[in-house]
């Protein structure tokens, strides 16, 4: 199955973004679709993983709204499978609203988690906020479209692409990329969790320190798997996190 690359997701808000809602309850699915269509999004509904896969194979999808409790393959398995192949933005929408469910959803690669029942206006706000983070990198930095280099790695903030010393591209979710950019642009500076939430997740995003911890853990695992010589992100006791690799910066060609 072919998935869009990271670069394929911008600029999203300049056109009718296509959202795929994977929800087995037809009444809830139609409710979600009605509210998102009223905000000028294009929406397709799927009731299970089979229907979802057929849509992904034939249409360009910009964002996935994913229920956890589905017939057949559940949302956790779907999220894990998609995240292994694609950086497509994913918001989990689920009646399972225990903290552990939210943490699991984020750990396997979801970018946001909204428990049911929810206010449709909040859902729309979350969707728009995630699109903004994908487009803008989550921060208003003069280096937001530059290139960051560290230990032979290259982070192109305009193309939203990270490559290792072997020039292999490392797949990052939008939230992971935003967090890495925030840390790398401020190499050598300790940033607490509140600062990182503000820099990367914004007003309507997943907004607490525990989610920052999860994203850092995911980034460390990806760095290790991709052959990083050491962990670039250091935990500072009672402080937050620090990007410890020396970073050089250059402007990208616009």
- The confidence score (pLDDT) of residue 37 equals 94
Q: Does domain 147-250 have CATH number 1.10.10.10?
A: yes
Instruction: Give the global pTM.
Output: 0.59
Burial of 207 (0-12, 13-18, 19+ CB in 10 A): middle
Among 176, 174, 201, smallest CA distance to 4 is for 174
User: Distance between CA 101 and CA 158 in Å, rounded?
Assistant: 33
What pLDDT digit, counting tens, does each position of 132-141 carry?
A: 766 644 433 4
User: Distance between CA 46 and CA 57 in Å, rounded?
Assistant: 13
Domain edges within the chain? 6-136, 147-250
Say which CATH architecture domain 6-136 belongs to.
3-Layer(aba) Sandwich (3.40)
3-state helix, strand, coil in the chain (%, to 5): 40, 20, 40
For residue 237, give every residue at least 6 positions away whose Cβ sits within 8 Å of its Cβ, in sequence order, or none. Answer: none
pLDDT at 191 over 50: yes
| pLDDT band at residue 254 under the 50/70/90 scheme | low
User: Distance between CA 129 and CA 197 in Å, rounded?
Assistant: 13
């Amino acid at each position: 199955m072919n998935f869009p690359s990271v670069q394929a997701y911008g600029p999203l808000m300049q056109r009718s973004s296509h959202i795929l809602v994977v929800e087995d309850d037809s009444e809830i699915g139609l409710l979600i679709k009605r509210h998102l269509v009223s905000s000028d999004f294009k929406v397709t509904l799927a009731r299970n993983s089979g229907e979802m896969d057929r849509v992904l194979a034939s249409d360009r999808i910009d964002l996935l709204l994913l229920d956890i409790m589905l017939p057949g393959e559940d949302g956790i398995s779907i999220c894990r499978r998609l995240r292994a192949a694609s950086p497509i933005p994913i918001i989990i929408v689920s009646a399972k609203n225990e903290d552990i469910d939210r943490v699991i959803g984020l750990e396997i690669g979801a970018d946001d988690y909204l428990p049911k029942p929810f206010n449709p206006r909040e859902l729309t706000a979350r969707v728009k906020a995630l699109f903004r983070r994908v487009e803008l990198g989550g921060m208003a930095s003069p280096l937001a479209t530059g290139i960051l280099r560290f230990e032979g790695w290259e982070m192109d903030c305009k193309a939203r692409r990270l490559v290792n010393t072997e020039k292999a591209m490392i797949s990052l979710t939008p939230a992971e990329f935003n967090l890495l950019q925030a840390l790398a642009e401020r190499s050598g500076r300790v940033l607490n969790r509140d600062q990182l939430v503000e820099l990367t997740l914004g007003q309507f995003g997943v907004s607490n320190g525990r989610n920052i911890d999860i994203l850092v853990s995911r980034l460390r695992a990806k760095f290790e798997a991709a052959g990083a010589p050491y962990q670039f992100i250091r935990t500072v006791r009672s402080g937050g996190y620090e990007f410890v690799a020396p970073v050089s910066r250059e402007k990208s060609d616009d």
